Structure formats: C-alpha cells, structure tokens
DNA sequence: TCCATAGGTAACAATAAGGTTACATATATG
DNA sequence: CATATATGTAACCTTATTGTTACCTATGGA
C-alpha cells in the first residue's frame, strides 16, 4: 500500500499512468515522447509504478508494451468508500495492536 | 495532491492519522506513546501530515491539540468516484497539453 | 521560586529518490 | 551483414527523507 501511495505522489507518474491508460500497449519510447525528462528517468518512473503493481508490461519484439492496472487503486478506493474518512481496512486491528503496545510501553 | 499521497505513503503516518482521528484533540506526546520512534520523528511525521493539510492543530497551554482533517482525502476520493479508474480531474486538460507538446517535440 | 513536563529547534549522519552520462544488448530492416 | 531502433544497465552526483543527539523555550504545579 505504501508503494501505491508513493508511486501516486508524483504528478509526472500520475500523468504517465494516465497516458498508458489512454494508450494501452504503448511503448517506453512512446511515453518518453510526452515528457520532458530523459528516457532513463521515464524507465525509472515506470519501474516505480510497476513496483506498486499499477503497471503491467510485456516484451513484444524489441518493444515493451505497457498496460495500466487498476487493481491497486480499486483496492484503496474500496477501503475509502467502505467508511469514507476512516480510510483503511486494518484500522480496528491496528488500533488494537497499538493499545497493546501502549500498555507495554506505559507499564514496563 | 502530491503532498497528500506522499504523506499517506508511510504506514506510520497513516496509523498516526488514524490514531488522531480516533482521539481528537490528543497531544504530540500522546501520539508518541503509541509509536516506537522518537518524539522528534513523531513531530516530523506530523509536520508531513500538516503539510498535506491532513492535520489541523492548535496550541492550548503547553500542549498542542491535534485534529484529523478529512478534506484532502475527500477531494481525492471524489475524483476517484467520478470516474473510477480514471482518477484525476485534470485528465482531459493534461492530455490536451501533452498532445500539443508532443506535436512540438515530434515536429521540430 | 524551583522544577518537571510539553513542545520546538539546530545540527548532523544515513539512506532513499531523482537525475545525469556512458555503455551494452537485442531486434527489425535496408 | 550492417545499421538504426528500442530497451536495459552501470556508475555517478544531487537532493530529499528518515533518523539521531543535544539544547532551548514555555507552561503548570508543588
């Protein structure tokens, strides 16, 4: 989940993801055409997106075809819609753990 | 928007936000009790959350009272619900700009 | 007043992210 | 085959994030 938010924390990456979503199967070079940064930086950004599972790719010949994967976003979205401002699913469990660890720290 | 995603990209910060949401008006020290990291790091994390406008605070006596602000999350949420996987509002405009700059780059 | 408590700042070190250039590999295509 | 194209990797530098210790300020109470 950290990786998804981290990947989305860059406008450049969000735009790249947007582009790929609108041009499914486009190549790394295609993406690079739309941005001012170097091809290597494009690849690094795409790698960050892939690490967050927001990007799926396959190699076809000498090209790499890129595809947007909505699943991680859907996951976060679902958590947010469940209980609007209380936005992560593990909330209750985490709080329980926190309360337990608090007792340990407060009463050593 | 970058600041919000960046702030949310740390599980520790998400948990802090969760805690403050469940304990409105709690102090910096209160938050620190629930986490293993130092008080200074807690303050830095809180500062990151405040930079994203996810946190509101006021000083009362020598304590600082912390409050969760749902607005930035609501904003992102709204964008996502509008058109699910197409998750940012400036999409159409940005794409237009990208297409324009593409022509400039492709045809110099 | 004296002092413990709560918060804030400064300075620094380690690690990660953003960015570059140079080189390497694989694959279409004349 | 020769070469341009598309992608990948290595090395390196800069900046940002994460984390520390030490010190400072202000407030509440005995």
pLDDT digits (tens, 9 = 90+) for B63-73: 999 999 888 88
Facing A9 at nearest CB: one of B9, B34, B84: B9
Mean pLDDT across A8-19? 93
pLDDT at A57 over 60: yes
pLDDT digits (tens, 9 = 90+) for B66-101: 999 888 887 777 766 654 445 443 333 344 344 333
Distance CA(A36)–CA(A96), nearest Å, equals 47
- Tell me if A77 and B84 make a contact (CB, 8 A cut-off): yes
Residue B66 near residue B27, CB atoms below 8 Å = yes
Which residue, B34, B2, B5, is CA-closest to B18? B34
Q: Which of B2, B14, B105 sits opposite A11 (nearest CB)?
A: B2
Q: Token pair for residue A31? A: 């993406």
Report CB contact under 8 Å: A94, B33: no
- Determine the distance between A38 (CA) and C22 (C1') in angstroms: 14
Mean pLDDT of B12-21: 92
**In degrees rounded to 5, what are phi and psi of residue B58?**
-145, 145
Please state whether B80 falls in left (phi above 0), alpha (psi between -120 and 50) or beta.
Answer: alpha
Å from the B3 CA to the D29 C1': 41
- Among residues B72, B17, B9, B49, the alpha carbon closest in space to that of A1 is found at B9
Helix segments in chain A, DSSP class H: 2-8, 11-22, 28-33, 39-51, 71-82, 91-106
Examine the pLDDT at A15 and tell me if it is beyond 80: yes
Contact B55, B69 (CB under 8 A): yes
Q: What pLDDT score does B14 carry?
A: 92
Q: Strand, helix or coil at B102?
A: helix
Q: Where are the domains of chain B?
A: 2-69, 72-106
DSSP assignment, residue A90?
A: T
List the CATH code of the domain at A2-69.
1.10.10.10
Contact flag B11-A1 (C-beta cutoff 8 Å): yes
Rg, Å, chain B Cα set:
19
B23 CA: distance to closest CA in chain A (Å): 11
């Amino acid at each position: 989940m950290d990786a998804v938010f981290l990947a989305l924390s860059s406008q450049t990456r969000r735009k790249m993801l947007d582009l790929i979503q609108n041009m499914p199967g486009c190549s790394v070079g295609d993406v690079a055409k739309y941005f001012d940064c170097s091809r290597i930086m494009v690849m690094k950004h795409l790698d960050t997106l892939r690490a967050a599972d927001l990007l799926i790719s396959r190699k076809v010949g000498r090209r790499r075809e890129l595809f947007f994967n909505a699943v991680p976003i859907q996951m976060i979205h679902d958590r947010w819609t469940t209980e609007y401002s209380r936005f992560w699913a593990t909330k209750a469990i985490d709080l329980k753990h926190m309360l337990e660890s608090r007792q340990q720290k407060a009463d050593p």
